[in-house]
Amino acid sequence: MQIFKVGGAVRDRLLGKPVTDIDWVVVGATTEEMLAQGYRPVGADFPVFLHPKSGEEYALARTERKSGRGYGGFTFHASPEVTLEEDLIRRDLTINAMAEDDQQNLTDPYHGQRDLEDRILRHVSPAFAEDPLRVLRVARFAARYAGLGFTVAPETLELMRQLSDSGELEALTAERSWKEISRALMEDQPQVFIQVLRDCGALKVLMPEVDALFGVPQPEAHHPEIDTGLHTLSVLEQSALYKQPLTVRWACLLHDLGKGLTPEEQWPRHIAHEHTGLKLIKAVCERFKAPKDCQELALLVGQYHTHGHRALELKASTLLELLQSFDVYRRPQRFEEFIVACEMDARGRKGLEQRSYPQADYLRGAAKAAREVAVQPLLEKGFKGPELGEALKRERLKALKAYKDAASA
């Protein structure tokens, strides 16, 4: 029995990055031998065991063969005869197909170390094209390591293109897709993830609503970058630069989908794109079964982001409606995430990345003014039920008018 550290732990050590998760492969062992040493079985499809002390996962070396569509369409074979090289060749990228023993002696049959040094994301073997999930994984690694200068090898991009054209991507489950998408959006350069998906044709299969934004112009006076798709990538880039949470990044990706529906004869204007885009945002969220908080914020940002940009001009009554829509009294954090999404949208414009966004503090002040209206005095005056709600609304409107007057004084 031989035990090797494999995959990401080896890759990240060689890159000088912190190693968090460690994957282990066991060569030359049987299930019975693992059980005899106290390992606990956890793998449903193939033999994976938990270490009796550390709890880390140890997998028996295995080979795999394509047997059906999609990510799960494989049969696996694990036996003591399977070599380390045979186990490594089934992996996605050469930089993930390295192993080392307990003395840090490297086994690198597919030149992963060389590709690390050359900053190349390259597939290990033609079997790469058998697993559609790898399209998303490679795009995610591109987003993670773009800052180090990594790019996707042209021949790997070609295989990704073939996968995108094959119909295999449609076989991915919503859960598997969302897991990769959400992880990719939280990388340092999530815009690279979307760009790589677009480069290989996967974006038009997975998110045609986002793909449709490229080539759609906006008024140059407001959007010097003009192209709506490029603007979306820039907004996503800003959201990562400012370390925003997943909810905000997801909303930033989807906020302008309505512009993809604007008839060409109306370009570069996009009248009511906030409302036309809602059905598209909903469709994308449902397709990937995005978590409820991501869905809610994406829809609210899609509908109200132009309100955010015009915050200083809004009437007090419109401000109040905006605050009510977000339920700022019980869910203040959601309104805060809306504000920063609007700021990322404003910063995601060519040459305007550093421009101040006074609307943010103005909206925070408005929410504070409305929240500070006390309910108790109204209760003491005998208001209750629907009448209490109306009285509270009147007092909040009064408070917002006072706030607006003070801010413009």
Q: Give the C-alpha separation, 14 to 142, whole Å.
A: 17
The pLDDT value recorded for residue 68 is 53
225: which residues sit within 8 A by CB, 6+ positions away?
231, 234, 349, 350
- The amino acid sitting at 20 is T
The model's pLDDT over 221-274, given as tens digits with 9 standing for 90+, comes to 999 999 999 999 999 999 999 999 999 999 999 999 999 999 999 999 999 999
Under the banding of pLDDT at 50, 70 and 90, the label for residue 78 is confident
Average pLDDT over every residue of 217-224 = 95
Highest mean pLDDT of the ranges 19-28, 58-67, 113-122: 113-122
pLDDT digits (tens, 9 = 90+) for 191-203: 999 999 999 999 9
Q: Which of 129, 150, 131 is nearest to 140 (CA)?
A: 150
pLDDT at 66: 56
Calculate ∠ Cα 339-340-342, nearest 5°: 65
Structure tokens at 290: 């995005």
Q: Residue 10: how many CB atoms within 10 A of its CB? A: 27
What pLDDT, on a 0 to 100 scale, did the predictor assign at position 47? 83
Higher pLDDT, 376 or 122: 122
Q: Which of the two residues, 64 and 22, has the higher pLDDT score?
A: 22
Name beta bridge partners: 99: 6, 107
- Mean pLDDT over residues 279-296, rounded? 98
Split at pLDDT 50, 70, 90, the class of 69 is low
Q: Is the pLDDT of residue 44 over 80?
A: no
Report the chain's mean pLDDT, rounded to a whole number.
94
Task: Report the percent of the chain where pLDDT is more than 70.
Answer: 96
Rounded Cα–Cα distance for residues 90 and 126 (Å): 10
**Three-state helix/strand/coil letters over the chain:** CEEEEECHHHHHHHHCCCCCCCEEEEECCCHHHHHHCCCEECCCCCCEEECCCCCCEEEECEEEEECCCCCCCEEEEECCCCCHHHHHHCCCEHHHCCEECCCCCEECCCCHHHHHHHCEECECCHHHHHCCHHHHHHHHHHHHHHHHCCEECHHHHHHHHHHHHHCHHHHCCHHHHHHHHHHHHCCCCHHHHHHHHHHCCCHHHHCHHHHCCCCCECCCCCCCCCEHHHHHHHHHHHHHHCCCCHHHHHHHHHCCHHHHHCCHHHCCCCCCHHHHCHHHHHHHHHHCCCCHHHHHHHHHHHHHHHHHHCHHHCCHHHHHHHHHHHCCCCCHHHHHHHHHHHHHHHHCCCCCCCCCCCHHHHHHHHHHHHHCCCCHHHHHCCCCHHHHHHHHHHHHHHHHHHHHHHHHC
Lowest average pLDDT, out of 19-23, 151-155, 240-244, 333-337, goes to: 19-23
For residue 93, give both structure tokens.
Answer: 């990228």
- The encoded tokens of residue 19 equal 């190693």
pLDDT band at 401; cut points 50, 70, 90 = very high
pLDDT of residue 266: 95
Q: Is the pLDDT of residue 9 over 80?
A: yes
- As a whole number of angstroms, the distance between CA 71 and CA 85 comes to 22
pLDDT value, residue 63: 84
Say how many C-beta atoms besides its own lie within 10 A of residue 378's C-beta: 19
The pLDDT-based confidence of 77 (bands split at 50, 70, 90) is confident
Q: How confident is residue 5, by pLDDT bands cut at 50, 70 and 90? A: very high
Give the C-alpha separation, 223 to 217, whole Å.
9
The percentage of the chain sitting over the pLDDT mark of 90, rounded to a whole number, equals 87
Measured distance CA(76)–CA(130) in Å, rounded = 14
Cα 176 to chain centroid, rounded: 13
pLDDT at 71 over 60: no
pLDDT tier at 79, thresholds 50, 70, 90:
confident
Question: 147 falls in which pLDDT band (50, 70, 90)?
Answer: very high
Q: Any bridge partners for residue 63, and if so which?
A: 77
- pLDDT tens digit string along 304-354? 999 999 999 999 999 999 999 999 999 999 999 999 999 999 999 999 999
Q: Show the tokens assigned to 171.
A: 């076989």
Structure tokens of 320? 């109040």
Place of tokens 């970058």: 225
Mean pLDDT along residues 162-181 = 95
pLDDT at 20: 84
Q: How many other CB atoms are there within 10 angstroms of residue 184's CB atom? A: 24
Residue type, 319: L
CB atoms within 10 A of CB 40: 12
d(CA 136, CA 152): 12
